[in-house]
């Protein structure tokens, strides 16, 4: 799997060696950069993206903390923006989501495009360009804020996100090493040590931006999207300037998008059962259970309290609660 720190450029190695670092969850370490813990193997991508990405006003950036439902929202955004192309029954048969993983259709900036090349040519992307990133708000390339392009942030209950991350970290870990002890990960998480953590600061950065600039930043919750997809996908369409017409609302277009992007549909497709990403990660790792509240099957009451307490303390005064 592509995650080795020896891919780092000399400039990144120099920077990384000057930063505080801690043991990560899998094979690589985390480095504290601009107030957040970044996986060390990503530094080429992070710096190249910050230095070279030129946002355009029509760009759409999907932002998440890992394991908050990125794959799902990538699929929804892709289906929403391309709905006119695949509206009749013939074209529905050849919808790209049926044969390609959402991560291949909506690429990450620092985890793919700028990790593969220092300054990739993005002119082949059709407008509106759709990209994804896990970068914290304060670490976004300057052009993103200057261009006033649209940001869609998806946030998830921290206990579910934590359990999802723990399962995912175990998948990425060499089999002979066994599972990473859950209490050890919990302790790290509550100290802010998770990919792009502290989790609460990541969430708060975008929440605050969404309150200050509601036309530029939309803040969505995984649980709300699950609970009431029609309302929140319509909000998303309005925010992106492509609202559903009365006819679309009547003819089941929203429901069609949600069916296409549902956990059951996507996870049963051959590409998502047997395909791999360019990094070697298996597509099926991004589809585990897709449920709200799965943490109860893994966390004791005491462990859950530990997360609740840290979140409550950190989010106090933010107007956010989980
Ligand atoms: P679980 O591990 O709780 O099942 P990310 O895409 O940010 O890596 O997040 C992965 C999480 O989103 C996993 O959560 C995964 O199962 C869930 N997920 C993936 N596709 C989904 C979908 N279509 N609908 C709902 N949840 C989905």
Which one from 134, 202, 207, 232 is the annotated catalytic residue?
A: 134
Ligand 1 contact, 66 CB (< 6 A): yes
Beta carbon of 47 within 6 Å of any ligand 1 atom: no
134 is catalytic: yes
Distance 91 CA to ligand 1 centre (A): 27
User: Relative to the CA of 164, which ligand 1 atom is closest?
Assistant: 2
The verdict on the CB of residue 171 being under 6 Å from ligand 1 is no
Is the minimum distance from the CB of 177 to ligand 1 under 6 angstroms? no
- pLDDT truncated to tens, each residue of the chain (322 aa)? 566 666 788 989 999 999 999 999 887 799 999 999 999 999 999 999 999 999 999 999 999 999 999 999 999 999 999 999 998 877 778 999 999 999 999 999 999 999 999 999 999 999 999 999 999 999 999 999 999 999 999 999 999 999 999 999 999 887 777 889 999 999 999 999 999 999 999 999 999 999 999 999 999 999 999 999 999 999 999 999 999 999 999 999 999 999 999 999 999 999 999 999 998 999 999 999 999 999 999 999 999 999 999 999 999 989 898 8
Atom of ligand 1 nearest to the CA of 71: 6
pTM: 0.96
Q: Which residue, judged by its Cα, is nearest atom 26 of ligand 1? A: 290
Residue nearest to atom 9 of ligand 1 (CA): 67
Distance between CA 196 and CA 175 in Å, rounded? 25
What are the residue boundaries of the structural domains of the chain, listed by start? 5-315
Q: In 3D, which of 276, 156, 137 has the Cα closest to residue 205?
A: 137
CA of 188 to the centre of ligand 1 (A): 22
Task: Note the pLDDT tens digit of each residue in 270-308.
Answer: 999 999 999 899 999 999 999 999 999 999 999 999 999
CATH 4.10.93.10 describes domain 5-315? no
What ipTM was reported for this prediction?
0.99
Show contacts of 159-162: CB within 8 Å, 24+ apart: 159/295, 159/299, 159/304, 159/307, 159/308, 159/322, 160/222, 160/291, 160/292, 160/293, 160/294, 160/295, 161/65, 161/67, 161/68, 161/199, 162/186, 162/189, 162/194, 162/199, 162/295, 162/307
């Amino acid at each position: 799997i592509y995650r080795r720190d020896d891919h780092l450029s000399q400039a990144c190695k120099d920077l990384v060696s000057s930063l505080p670092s801690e043991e990560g969850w899998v094979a690589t370490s985390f480095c504290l950069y601009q107030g957040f813990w970044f996986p060390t193997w990503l530094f080429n991508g992070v710096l190249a993206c910050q230095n070279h990405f030129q946002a355009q006003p029509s760009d759409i950036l999907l932002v998440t903390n890992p394991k908050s439902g990125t794959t799902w929202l990538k699929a929804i955004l892709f289906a929403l923006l391309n709905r006119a192309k695949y509206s009749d029954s013939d074209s529905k048969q050849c919808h790209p989501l049926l044969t390609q993983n959402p991560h291949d259709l909506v690429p990450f900036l620092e985890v793919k495009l700028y990790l593969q090349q220092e300054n990739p040519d993005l002119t082949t992307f059709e407008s509106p360009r759709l990209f994804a990133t896990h970068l914290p708000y304060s670490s976004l390339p300057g052009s993103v804020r200057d261009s006033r392009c649209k940001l869609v942030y998806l946030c998830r209950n921290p206990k579910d996100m934590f359990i999802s991350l723990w399962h995912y970290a175990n998948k990425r870990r060499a089999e002979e090493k066994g599972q990473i002890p859950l209490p050890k990960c919990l302790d790290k998480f509550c100290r802010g040590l998770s990919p792009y953590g502290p989790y609460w600061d990541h969430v708060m950065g975008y929440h605050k931006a969404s309150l200050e600039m509601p036309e530029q930043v939309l803040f969505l919750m995984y649980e709300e999207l699950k609970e009431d997809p029609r309302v929140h996908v319509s909000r998303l369409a309005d925010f992106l300037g492509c609202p559903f017409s009365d006819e679309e609302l009547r003819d089941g277009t929203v429901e069609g998008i949600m069916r296409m992007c549902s956990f059951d549909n996507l996870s049963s497709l051959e590409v998502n059962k047997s395909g791999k990403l360019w990094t070697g990660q298996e597509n099926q790792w991004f589809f585990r259970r897709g449920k709200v509240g799965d943490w109860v099957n893994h966390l004791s009451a005491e462990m859950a309290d530990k997360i609740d307490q840290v979140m409550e303390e950190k989010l106090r005064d933010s107007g956010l609660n989980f």
